[in-house]
Amino acid sequence: MRLDHKNIWVIVEKKDKEIHPVSFELLSKGLALKKELGESLVAVFPGDAGKKDINMLEQYGADEILLINSERSPAGSCETVAELICMAVEEEKPQVLLAGATIYGRTLMPLIAVRLKTGLTADCTELSIDRDRKILLQTRPAFGGNIMATIECADSRPQMATVRPRVFRMEKKPGAVKAMVVSKSYSPGVRRAARVLETAVREESLDIGQAEVIVAGGRGLGKPEGFDLISELADKIGGMTGASRGAVDLGWISQAHQVGQTGHTVSPKLYVACGISGAVQHLAGMKGSGTIIAVNEDPDAPIFEAADYGIVGDLYDIVPGILKELERGESK
Ligand SMILES: Cc1cc2nc3c(=O)[nH]c(=O)nc-3n(C[C@H](O)[C@H](O)[C@H](O)COP(=O)(O)OP(=O)(O)OC[C@H]3O[C@@H](n4cnc5c(N)ncnc54)[C@H](O)[C@@H]3O)c2cc1C
């Protein structure tokens, strides 16, 4: 353990004026790590936090809220925020630095890691502490998802990791005490790697990660039109349409629908997988679902090992059959 470095920092992200849920998920995990390390949990907030933000961060267990700002202008672009966080890290020397594996976190964290000359493990699926050595164990899929690798950052500090939304549960800390709010301003140099010329809104603003019900289709659909059937069932039960990478790679549906290691991590109450074999990379993104139903014509398909209910058969018989039953139920 490096004695000159202490505390666990979580970078807070704001999305549409609200704190992104991944920040609370990381604070919840940070609380568990803190128990092992016996250090403080610090929410790092770029810019000025409102009363509501501070209250929320306290409820999720932050001991301290570090508001970091630029002396010249508000903390805005990723480059500026990265520079401000680096300055704060050099002064405060945290042991661990965590952020969500969102577009924001994925842009920010490499900028910080490169400048601080430390390691960064992206897309972790588990974080824990080696009790004897008091170091962070960062687990993530490796070699195409065929193994889970546990990565250590042996010498440099801070130990940095990103985690995708919904990998960890967010849990409010009962009876949370008021966090200490510390405000610091830094004066970053004028260094700009990129300039935003225009901001375009993505055509598809689907957020499958938040869906409570997902009906997903795979290569077993056999043709792109198969997704009409999948979407019909999804609409009928108030859900969203998901897909395997196999189907996305064939161009049958857009990447926004992809579930898995290189797609979205989802944890709906109900996940219905139709014509999906259940490769480890797919399971990595949906194994946290409440109830999993699999429809596959191959009784040995690995998806059945992850499923709570399995239906062996042709999805083109089974899905229309389910739709018919639902319609019958509605008309009663
Ligand atoms: C680095 C890396 C990252 C990856 N990331 C992802 C990821 O994020 N998400 C992901 O999904 N994959 C990912 N993959 C790909 C993954 O390994 C699989 O190739 C992919 O999930 C297979 O998609 P599939 O299940 O739709 O197709 P297949 O494996 O071809 O399975 C099709 C299934 O449909 C069944 N079937 C066929 N016809 C019917 C029918 N009429 N009725 C019922 N069942 C039928 C078959 O029995 C079969 O089990 C990744 C791979 C790598 C190497």
Q: Which pLDDT value is given to residue 1?
A: 47
pLDDT value for 2:
55
Q: What is the model's pLDDT at position 72?
A: 64
Among 244, 289, 297, which is best to mutate for testing ligand 1, by the most ligand atoms less than 8 A from CB? 244
Instruction: Say if residue 30's pLDDT is above 90.
Output: yes
pLDDT at 207: 81
In this structure, which residue's CA is closest to atom 53 in ligand 1?
Answer: 144
C-alpha separations of 286 from 133, 157, 167, 237, 259 in Å = 33, 33, 10, 18, 7
Give the mean pLDDT of 219-240. Answer: 96
- Closest protein CA for atom 1 of ligand 1: 144
High-pLDDT (> 70) share of the chain, %: 91
Q: Cα(278) to centroid of ligand 1, in Å?
A: 6
Residue 251 CA, ligand 1 centroid: distance in Å? 14
Task: List pocket residues of ligand 1, CB cut-off 6 Å.
Answer: 144-145, 218-220, 244-247, 258, 260-263, 275-277, 279, 281-282, 285, 295-298, 301, 314-316
Residue-wise pLDDT tens digits, 40-79: 999 999 988 899 999 999 999 999 999 998 776 555 678 8
Q: What are 178-187's pLDDT values in tens digits?
A: 899 998 888 8
How would you classify residue 17: left for phi > 0, otherwise alpha for psi between -120 and 50, otherwise beta? left
Domain 8-186 has CATH 3.20.20.70: no
Q: How far apart are CA 103 and CA 95, in angstroms?
A: 24
Same fold, 8-186 and 208-331: yes
Range among 45-49, 65-69, 164-168, 198-202 with highest mean pLDDT value: 65-69
pLDDT of residue 193 exceeding 50: yes
- Which of the following CATH numbers is that of domain 208-331: 3.40.228.10, 3.30.342.10, 3.40.50.620, 3.40.50.1220? 3.40.50.1220
Ligand 1, atom 18: closest residue by C-alpha:
279
Instruction: Report the pLDDT value the prediction gives residue 77, as an integer from 0 to 100.
Output: 76
pLDDT above 90 for 191: no
Whether 192 has a pLDDT exceeding 60, the answer reads no
Distance from residue 150's CA to the centre of ligand 1 (Å): 26
Q: Are 191 and 185 in contact (CB under 8 A)?
A: no
pLDDT on residue 329: 80
Work out the percent of the chain whose per-residue pLDDT is above 90: 71
Instruction: Report the Cα 268 to chain-centroid distance in Å.
Output: 14
What are the domain boundaries of the chain?
Answer: 8-186, 208-331
Query: Which residue out of 208, 230, 245, 314 has the highest number of ligand 1 atoms within 8 Å of its CB and is therefore the one to mutate?
Result: 245
Atom of ligand 1 nearest to the CA of 144: 1
Residue whose token pair is 């508001």:
67
State which of 208, 262, 314, 315 you would mutate to test the pocket of ligand 1, scoring each by most atoms of that ligand within 8 A of its C-beta.
Answer: 262
Inform me whether the pLDDT recorded for 200 exceeds 70. no
Q: How confident is the model at residue 3 (pLDDT cuts 50, 70, 90)?
A: low
Q: Which atom of ligand 1 is nearest to the CA of 217?
A: 26
The neighbour count for residue 235, using CB atoms within 10 Å, is 12
Q: What is the mean pLDDT of residues 280-289?
A: 93
For ligand 1, atom 43, the nearest C-alpha belongs to: 296
φ/ψ bin of 321: left (φ > 0), alpha (ψ from -120 to 50), beta (otherwise): alpha
State the pLDDT at residue 184: 87
Residue 85 has pLDDT above 80, yes or no: yes
Quick check: 89 pLDDT over 60? yes
Work out which ligand 1 atom sits closest to the CA atom of 276. Answer: 25
Q: Is residue 168 over pLDDT 50?
A: yes
Q: Which of 61-75, 161-175, 197-211, 223-237 has the lowest mean pLDDT?
A: 197-211
Assessment of whether the complete model's pTM goes beyond 0.75: no
pLDDT of residue 174: 79
Q: Are 23 and 12 in contact (CB under 8 A)?
A: yes
Q: What is the mean pLDDT of residues 125-148?
A: 89
Other beta carbons within 10 angstroms of residue 281's beta carbon come to 18
Instruction: Check whether 24 has a pLDDT greater than 50.
Output: yes
The pLDDT value given to residue 49 = 87
More confident residue, 70 or 130: 130
* Gap from CA of 294 to ligand 1 centroid (Å): 13
Ligand 1 atom closest to Cα of 301?
49
